[in-house]
Amino acid sequence: MGIFNRTLLILILWSLGQAGAQTPPHLRTPFIEDWGQVKPETLERQAKAFAGTFFIEGPGDRKEIALTFDDGPSDDTPALLDLLKKENVKVTFFWQGQNVLQYPEIVRRALAEGHVLANHSFSHPNLSKMEDGGMWWDYQMERTQQAFQKVAGFQPAMMRPPYGFLNDKQIKSLRDKGMTAILWSVDSADWFHIWQNSQDEMASSKIEAVIKQYIHPEAIVLMHDSGGRGRKPTIMATKALIPYLRQQGYGFTTVDRLLNIPVRQAISGE
Ligand SMILES: [Zn+2]
């Protein structure tokens, strides 16, 4: 190898190392246009501007990932809990307050089985569009905090905004309350694949393929345990993915452990 080639090789290796160390948090999966989800550039800007409060992934040092499920609990959730128990995988649920009140037994079961529970608003609006005078907090966030308090005996420190939408003022307000906003780096788009494929096996294999393609160390993976025509394909995909990802050397953890942040909001006076 000539001196020129050797220098080039060293430069390439050096730049790869740099890229690994300096890549800011970003969404790995392709964005599905026109489906009312927050744009990747908005997520990435907010993750950079509000580091420590607004997360889309972990630092990327460890081959650990956090599976997350949104919108439940629902009638589909117990089958998912059965699977997770069998596989000894703990996940993070971002649940709607209205469903927490409707399915208190499922909430308590998930908690007893070691899963982490977090706030996903009360009834799933675009929070960033709610007027500033505290409505988003009082009617959506606080109501859900109270639902968790009533059913599970604690108030979550983590929240995930529906569709990923929060404005900067709301992120600052969460920071003031000692809370964190948890977004995602791998969007399974399970809702989209289930909607597009009436056949469960087809939908499930699409969900699997997306996650297999884009998984990375310290990923936060977005899936859903409620909504649409049911979430059976999501559960089928999860069942197939757990052994596959383990074989690839990945371990499963919860979002709080991945990011080293609290699960329960510290309420003043407690
Ligand atoms: Zn949602």
**Beta carbons within 8 Å of 57's beta carbon, 6+ residues apart:** 25, 26, 184, 185, 216, 218, 219, 220
Domain ranges of the chain: 25-259
| CA gap 209, 201 in Å, rounded | 12
Residue in the structure block whose two tokens are 């383990």: 246
70 CA to middle of ligand 1, Å?
5
Q: Write down the H helix ranges in the chain.
A: 3-22, 40-49, 77-87, 97-102, 104-112, 135, 143-152, 168-176, 190-196, 200-214, 232-247, 255-259
* Per-residue pLDDT tens over the stretch 93-134: 999 999 999 999 999 999 999 999 999 999 999 999 997 678
Q: Which residue has the tokens 């630092």?
A: 59
Closest alpha carbon to 187 in 31, 24, 23, 25: 31
The rounded Å distance from CA 124 to ligand 1 centre is: 6
* Residue 163 Cα to ligand 1 middle (Å): 6
Per the annotation, the verdict on 70 as an active-site residue is yes
Between 164 and 266, the higher pLDDT residue: 164
Q: What is the pLDDT of residue 157?
A: 98
Give residue 226 CA to ligand 1 midpoint distance, Å. Answer: 9
Q: Ligand 1 centre from 231 Cα, in Å?
A: 13
The pLDDT of residue 269 is 46
User: Cα 243 to the chain's mean position, in Å?
Assistant: 20
Whether 149 contacts 125, CB under 8 Å: no
Q: Which of 115, 120, 124, 224 is catalytic?
A: 224
- How many Å lie between the centroid of ligand 1 and the Cα of residue 61? 28
pLDDT band at 7 (very low <50, low <70, confident <90, very high): low
Whether the predicted pLDDT of 241 surpasses 60: yes
List pLDDT tens digits, range 180-236: 999 999 999 999 999 999 999 999 999 999 999 999 999 999 999 999 889 999 999
Catalytic residue among 70, 187, 190, 256: 70
Residue 191 C-alpha from the chain's centroid = 14
The reply to whether CATH 2.60.220.30 applies to domain 25-259 is no
User: Is residue 65 predicted with pLDDT exceeding 50?
Assistant: yes
pTM (predicted TM-score): 0.91
The percent helix, strand, coil of the chain (3-state, each to 5) is 50, 15, 40
Q: Please state, for a pLDDT cut of 90, what percent of the chain lies above it.
A: 85
